[in-house]
Every structure is written in structure tokens, then in C-alpha cells.
Structure 1
Amino acid sequence: MGTEALLAELREALGKDAVLTDPDITHGYSRDMMPLAPAGRPLAVVLPADVEGVQATVRACAQAKVPIVPRGAGSGLSGAANAIDGCVMLVTTKLDRILEIDPANRLAVVEPGVVNLALRQAVEREGLFYPPDPSSYDWCTIGGNLSTNAGGLCCVKYGVTTDSVLGLEAVLADGSLLKTGRRTVKGVAGYDLAKLFVGSEGTLGVITKATVALRPLPQAPGTLVAGFATTEAAGEAVTRVVREGLVPSLMEIMDATSIKAAESYLNTDLGAGSDCQALLLCQSDSGGEAAQRELAALEKICLECGSTMAYATDDLAEGKMLLETRRVVLTALEQYGIWLTDDVCVPRTRIAELIAECRRISEETRLRIAVVGHAGDGNMHPTIVYAPDSEDEFARARQAFDDILAVTMALGGTVTGEHGIGKVKREWLEREIGPVGLRVHRRIKRALDPDNLFNPGSMFSR
């Protein structure tokens, strides 16, 4: 089947308005938010409105031997949703229904185009809580979250996306519909195929439905902010929190560069002082006296570890303002140039070492590098800032990006905590999992996608 015949078949199956070929339009769907990852020119962008439309697209592309790149809202930071030349971009944003909310069994059934925030708000009206909260939660979609196994600020207590997944439906390479998982709390029948598809970055199939577990709505959180004169002291506080068994609902860290950027952007003063090198932000959603005890214990640890400032509040508006300083860091860094954010995870005892190494890399590359991250699980986001019109700075930013990955592995960490491998860290995946691990990945890929139809070149080369 030629390309014109393929486009005609897609228009027949989905309707002409669901098949976009104007280059000016398709270009806007060709890449995600990662500037380092390569992106090609798609043949077409298709927007199916139901699972039958997804199946028809997959079958037509399989017959024509045209690759498919599944895409959600495009909020990813690894290039996993980037086009390759001549592909069909299969965009799932029109599959946007919340099909069911079952309060009695604490679960929801959703399509992949549902926006994360929309799901959270819908279940909140039932007194329930969907925990995964990526920083782009107000526009990223559940399908993208599933494909990259996204995390967020609440991971320390509630885990990442896979920890909330009960079951999935996905269209396979031959157009058939795979139904995996369950609706029950427990179930060990067969391989856990649902978890296999979570984090697979669209390389094994197209997720069309998810059954996710919900939790009771937490109490309104209390908030603690603590400043430290050294990153080592902040790192010791994190280690103590973990060692003593405290599990705050949120524990974030910001380095000096991040603090200064956020304060400048928000025109505020956190009160940590000009010599503050690290800031911890913690929350407890245990409620009432339990939250007060948890915050008091966290404050005690911070002070014993040398905190120069520690302040706790149960005022919701004040807590939201404090947390806003963490959430705005990437936007705040745009005051200085374009940012390139990395995503690594190290043992929690080595967070301070990573921040120190990022400071060294910043000095060597002569670029601003800010470090923020989820201290509770060691997932850090070193963010490199460079001038948009400087090829030299862009090259140095790329070098800094790779240097940070090398340091992470030397510290016993992983090259991605929640953004995924995509098309920007393929060689690093091979370094991390080794030849045997890579061989197993490739065999799974060939078993489910023998013609290399789905997102070829993402995660690893065939």
C-alpha cells in the first residue's frame, strides 16, 4: 500500500477531519518538550475518537509498513513522543472520557486522553484521590503518564503511576485489543502485562483504557520549610527522615540557584537568608494531631542537622505559597535563558553529592545549573540554562547533560526516575542495564511488535 492509499484508508475509517497532513499543523505534533531529542517529519497526524479508530489506524499502518508514534499532550521530556520521518503520529487526546468512578471499590476507568488534573478533580468530588501528580498535571494526559510511568511531588508517600494501575487495555501491532489486569485488590493470574506496558513509551502498543486505583482523599496538608547553610546538612536531614521512618506526603529539595530564581520570579523572600545553600519543603497530609506530630518531628530533625531556619504552618494559603516556590522553578529559570532539564535518581544518602557534582559541572561548562528534586525518593532534576541563540552554549549544555548522567551512575543511581528514556538517553539505557538486559528488552519488543511498528528508535535501537 502506498502513502496516498494509506491516507485514503485512514480518512475513510476516521473521517477526513481526523487525519491531518498540512506540514504547518503536523510540525506542531512532531516533538515533545526535550530540545536535545531528534524529531522527524510525520506523514500524517491522526486523532481517533474511539478504540475502533485506534485499531483501524494500527491495521492500516501495519499493512502499509508505516511506523506509528503514539502521542498524548506532548508534555514529555525525553523525546519519546517525537516523530520519525514518514511516520503516522497517533494522538490520543480525543479519547478523553472518564468512563467510570467506583467509590465502593476505590477505582476509576479512564481513556488515555483524560488530563491528569481533570481525573483528580472528578474523583475528589467523590471523596477520593488519584495520587500521581507530574509537574505538568494541569495539561498532561493519563496515557502519557502511563507510557512514561510518570511520578511527581507525592511519590515519596504514594508512589509513581504504576503503583496506581490495576489494569490496561492496549491495541497490539496486529490491531487486536489486549485486556490486562483486574478490578480486584489482589490478583496474580499470569504475567503482570499491565505493568509491562506502563513505562514502555509506546513501543509495545497503544494504551486505550486504564483501570486505576484510588485512595481516600487526604486531609489538608501542613507544610514545613527549612533552610540549610550547606547541601550536606540538608542531605543529612533527608537521610535522618528516612532512617527514622517518617513518611511525609511530600519532601522536596531546592539548591541555592533554584531558590534565588524562584524568589526573583515571585518577588518574595523565603526568609532563608543569603547564605542558604539548600531548602527542604515537606508536607504532611495525615491530618489533625498526627500531622502536627509529624511536622514537629521533621522540624526537630532539620534543626538537629543544622538548619538555619525552620518554619511549620497549617495555614493552607501559606503552605500553597511555600510550595509554589518549588513548582515555579522551571518557569523562573526562563529569566536567564532556555532550560534543559535532566531527570536522574540517586540513593537518598547521596543527594548532597549529586548537587555538589552539578555545581562542579556548572563551573566547568560555565553554565547555570539549578537542582530541584523529590528528596523523599532521590529523584533529582538538574536543570541547565543556556542562551537560545548560542550554538556554543547549546553544545556545552549537551555536555553538561551527559556529565550529570555519568555522575549519577557513578553514585549508584539511574539515568531516569520518571521522564523515561525516549530518544535522548538510548545509549545510557544500554550502559545501565547491560547487554543481557538489553537483549531481553529487544526480545520482548520483537515478540509484541515483530515489524517494529510502534515508536521505533525510542528507548533502544532494534
Structure 2
Amino acid sequence: MGFLDELTASVTGVSTAPDDLAAAATDRSGTTPDGLPAAVVRASTVDEVRRTLRLAHDHGVPVVPRGAGTGLAGGAVAGTGSVVLDVSGLDRILSMDPVDEIAVVEPGVITAELDRAAGEFGLRYAPDPASAAISTIGGNIATNAGGMRCVKYGVTREAVLGLDVVLADGRLISTGRRTVKGVAGLDLTALFVGSEGTLGVVVGATLRLRALPAQTFTAVAAYDSVAAAATACSELARARREPSLLELLDGATLDVVDRAQGTDYSARGTALVIAQADGAAADSEIAAIAEVLGKEATWLSAEGDPDRLLFARRMALPSIERFGRALIEDICVPRSRLADAFEGVGRIARERGVEIYSFAHAGDGNLHPIIGYDKAADRLPDAVREAGDDIFALALELGGTVTGEHGVGLLKRDWLAREAGADVLDVHATLKSALDPRGILNPGKGF
């Protein structure tokens, strides 16, 4: 009996229908695989995940783990002969403890749904990627996703206390703990977070929740240059201020939001900074933040509904995509080099003759330079691809990284090699070999 026959006999939810295969073959990166996968397994239980991996391991069949497919680096792209293991159907919130501030969930839980459920207990799930309304916890763990609140609360890794992971041969292990502190053994939890499905398949997670802040205040400042705005953000760190959110939008982004949404942000300046402070002392903290931001601002407001003040940031990507296609990039630099990064991206846009819209989680030094191009293009234009490479080179030149929160996937493997170096990649390969000796888990991704 061949692999597909064995798989179909032992696991429900197996499909080989061409439409299902095509839908599961790529992710939001738009990367085109070299062909269609052999099958899609829509797992509904942990045991089905284990049986799928055990069979794939025995037959040497590549497995591409998948959640909602919202990844932007090609981490869930599945090519010829592979099996897509879709765990989005494991979507239960198993328990929530409001005293210990812990949630135990399956990987298919939508990020925003967990946040809403925690809110009923006066808690929140702090990581908030832009895709929170559609991305899953498992995908967030796979890429160590970030978001706007990460400047204060950290990225996904800081919220993951423990994991249930199915290894390549079908073994199920549990890592970590239910306590906030714990140093027993190697930190395998941190190893799996951000590993992009190359070391194991997450089937459960114990997550740390946070208390909802008693109050939140927002300040918005406009500047006559993106350099002035970036410098103001760096000055907040120098002044030891602690925003819970700090976002920066450049002039090109403000212009496209105005065109798409009928707003007038660009009339206030050529760059915008949005800051929030939360907690019991948020009123005094936002006043101190506003004082720093206001020194070089052309316009400053610390009044109004936070959601309205955040509108420009939330609508940035939808506005860009309204007028064309977008290559969504993700780099991170030291906060002190933020102004240099924006200047460098602007120079790349001019030299390559492309439109780049840049916005940033400025408190983390995490930039998203979005390269726009024609909707009618049947492939990525050379100038766009070259601009992307220039942006990665800029990040390394400034002492940063080629990905702050989207992951490496297929798209940045060559750049990871330049950033990490041969010795580090050898260590990666050694770990991979120990956990996945037949190399079946998400081959070609990450490293």
C-alpha cells in the first residue's frame, strides 16, 4: 500500500481535489510553488497530526504545516509531492485561568478571538499582529509574530509559557510550564517559537495573559520630515519614556491613505507619529511622551478617541493595496538608527525608480517598507525585487536584521545566510537533524 492509500485509510479529512490543493499551496506572500502538493490533511485531532507525521516520516514525504495561510515570507508554500498539514481545525480555547492569567489553546484559535475571550475576564492576549483578525495562534508561534503593542509587552515568545509539539516521527512532547518562572532543563519552548514548522508541529500552547489596562491615552504628532519623526521616536527612548504603542508613517504612506480614505493627514506634515500609554499612570506618561514628541512637531494632538487616532496606521496597508500590488517587507534596526533606515529606504526608492511606502513599529526599530507595483504585472518586476534586496542589505549595514516579525520562509533564506553566517547555520542544521533526521518538516524554509 502506498503512502496516500495509508494516509487516507488512517486519517480523515484528506483531500486530493485540485482546487483544495491549489488553495493550500501558497500563503499571503503570493509565492508560486513549483507544483501542487500531493494531498491536504485537515486535521481535527492531535492524534491525526501524529498519524500523518508518523506515516510521512516512514515514507520520507515532505510535510508543510499550515494555519490560516496569512504568512508573508513563504513559510507555508507547498510544492510538488508534499503534504499540507492544516491544523486550523484544532481551534478550541481549552481553558482560561483568570487568577494565574493563563490560557491553554489549540493552534487554530484566531488571535483576536483569544484576545476577546480574555477580555471577558479583564485580561488580554498582548501580542497583536496586524493580521490578528485572521491569523492563528499556531502561525503566530511559528513566526514569533509581533505587532503594535510589542514595544511594551514583547513579541509572541514572551507570551508563550509552554507548548505541545508533535515531532517529525509522530512523538508528542510537552515543553515549558504553567508558571511564569521556571528554568528546569533546556528552553525548548523558545526553540520551537519562531522555527516556522521546521522542527515540529505545534498542537497546543499555554499562553500568558495580561491585565487589561485601567486606561489608555493616545498622542499624535506630525513632522515636516520623516527624519525628524524618527529622531523624535529615538528621543523617547533617551528620555526613558515607556509607550505601549509607538508607530511612525512616512509621507508616501500618508498620501496613499488620504487618496484611499478621503482623509487629510498629509496636510499636517510629511510624517506622522502615533503613541499610546496605558496603565494606572497613563495620563502622566502620555503627557511626558507628548512633551518629547512636540519639540520638533508641526502639529500635536493628545485628545480624541484612540481608535480614530490610530485610523491612519490601521488603514495603511489596505490603502496601498487598493491602488496596486504590494511586496510587504520587514526589517528591524537598532532604534538609534531608525532615521538612517528611513533615509536609506527613501534613497533606494529613488535609485530603483519604485514607490516605497514605509511605516514602522518605531519603538522596536521594526520597519515595513512596502514596495508597490502594477496590479497587471504577471510577475514581480525586477526593480521591485532589486529594491527588496537593497532594503535587506541596508538593514544589515545598520546593524539590524532582515526580518523582525514575518519570518524567513522561502523568501529570505539567502539573506539569513548573510546575516547569521556559516557557523550559525551549521548549528541550525545540527538541531534540525536531531529533531527531524529525514528532513520532512517544511523543507527549504527558514534555513
Q: Cα deviations across residues 63-113 of structure 1 (Å, max 9, x unaligned)?
A: 221110000000000001110211000001110010010111110100000
Query: Which amino acid in 2 is paired with 1:127?
Result: G
2-side partners of 1:63 and 1:388: how far apart? 44
Deviation at 1:219, TM superposition (A): 2.7
2-side partners of 1:403 and 1:392: how far apart? 19
Q: How does 1:52-67 map to 2 (within 5 A)?
A: 52-67=47-62
Q: Cα deviations across residues 286-325 of structure 1 (Å, max 9, x unaligned)?
A: 24xx222111111111122x11001002x4xx32012121
Alignment match, 2:9: 12
Check if 1:114 corresponds to 2:109: yes
Alignment match, 1:252: 247
Q: Cα deviations across residues 9-34 of structure 1 (Å, max 9, x unaligned)?
A: 2222222xx11111122101111111
3-state DSSP of counterpart to 1:307:
coil
How many residues of Structure 1 are paired with residues of Structure 2 in the alignment?
Answer: 447
Query: Which amino acid in 2 is paired with 1:158?
Result: Y
Alignment match, 1:311: 301
3-state DSSP of counterpart to 1:185:
coil
Deviation at 1:256, TM superposition (A): 0.2
2-side partners of 1:347 and 1:22: how far apart? 47
Moved more, 6-15 or 63-72: 6-15
Given that residues 25 and 33 in structure 2 are in contact (C-alpha distance below 8 angstroms), is that contact kept between their aligned partners in structure 1?
no
Q: Cα deviations across residues 415-435 of structure 1 (Å, max 9, x unaligned)?
A: 000000000000111111111
Check if 1:426 corresponds to 2:413: yes
Alignment match, 2:446: 459
Given that residues 266 and 325 in structure 1 are in contact (C-alpha distance below 8 angstroms), is that contact kept between their aligned partners in structure 2?
no
Q: 2:293 aligns with which of 294, 297, 302?
A: 302
Q: How does 1:25-64 map to 2 (within 5 A)?
A: 25-36=20-31, 38=33, 40-64=35-59
3-state DSSP of counterpart to 2:163:
strand
Q: 2:98 aligns with which of 87, 94, 103?
A: 103
Deviation at 1:277, TM superposition (A): 2.2
3-state DSSP of counterpart to 1:46:
strand
Given that residues 10 and 51 in structure 2 are in contact (C-alpha distance below 8 angstroms), is that contact kept between their aligned partners in structure 1?
yes
3-state DSSP of counterpart to 1:100:
strand
Alignment match, 1:162: 157
Given that residues 38 and 79 in structure 1 are in contact (C-alpha distance below 8 angstroms), is that contact kept between their aligned partners in structure 2?
no
Distance 1:394 1:220, change over 3 A: farther
Deviation at 1:393, TM superposition (A): 6.5
Query: Which amino acid in 1 is paired with 2:106?
Result: E
3-state DSSP of counterpart to 2:294:
helix
Alignment match, 2:261: 266
2-side partners of 1:456 and 1:175: how far apart? 17
Alignment match, 1:187: 182
Deviation at 1:39, TM superposition (A): 5.2
For normalisation by structure 1, the TM-score amounts to 0.94
Given that residues 362 and 369 in structure 1 are in contact (C-alpha distance below 8 angstroms), is that contact kept between their aligned partners in structure 2?
yes
Alignment match, 2:363: 376
Check if 1:199 corresponds to 2:194: yes
Moved more, 215-224 or 85-94: 215-224
Alignment match, 2:429: 442
Aligned structure 1 segments of 4 or more residues deviating by more than 6 angstroms: none
Q: How does 1:246-395 map to 2 (within 5 A)?
A: 246-270=241-265, 273=267, 276-287=269-280, 290-304=281-295, 306-313=296-303, 315=304, 318-390=305-377, 394-395=381-382
Identical-pair percentage: 46
3-state DSSP of counterpart to 1:417:
coil
Query: Which amino acid in 2 is paired with 1:310?
Result: L
Given that residues 230 and 248 in structure 2 are in contact (C-alpha distance below 8 angstroms), is that contact kept between their aligned partners in structure 1?
no
2-side partners of 1:38 and 1:411: how far apart? 33
3-state DSSP of counterpart to 2:424:
helix
1-side partners of 2:6 and 2:387: how far apart? 46
Structure 1 unaligned segments of length 5 or more: list them: none
3-state DSSP of counterpart to 1:334:
helix
For normalisation by structure 2, the TM-score amounts to 0.97
Given that residues 37 and 84 in structure 2 are in contact (C-alpha distance below 8 angstroms), is that contact kept between their aligned partners in structure 1?
yes
1-side partners of 2:207 and 2:380: how far apart? 43
Deviation at 1:390, TM superposition (A): 3.4
Q: 1:401 aligns with which of 361, 385, 388?
A: 388
Deviation at 1:380, TM superposition (A): 0.5
Distance 1:252 1:11, change over 3 A: same
Structure 2 unaligned segments of length 5 or more: list them: none
3-state DSSP of counterpart to 1:420:
coil
Given that residues 324 and 375 in structure 2 are in contact (C-alpha distance below 8 angstroms), is that contact kept between their aligned partners in structure 1?
yes
Given that residues 168 and 194 in structure 1 are in contact (C-alpha distance below 8 angstroms), is that contact kept between their aligned partners in structure 2?
yes
Distance 1:154 1:292, change over 3 A: same
Deviation at 1:7, TM superposition (A): 2.1
Deviation at 1:391, TM superposition (A): 5.9
Query: Which amino acid in 2 is paired with 1:307?
Result: A
3-state DSSP of counterpart to 1:147:
helix
Given that residues 248 and 284 in structure 1 are in contact (C-alpha distance below 8 angstroms), is that contact kept between their aligned partners in structure 2?
yes
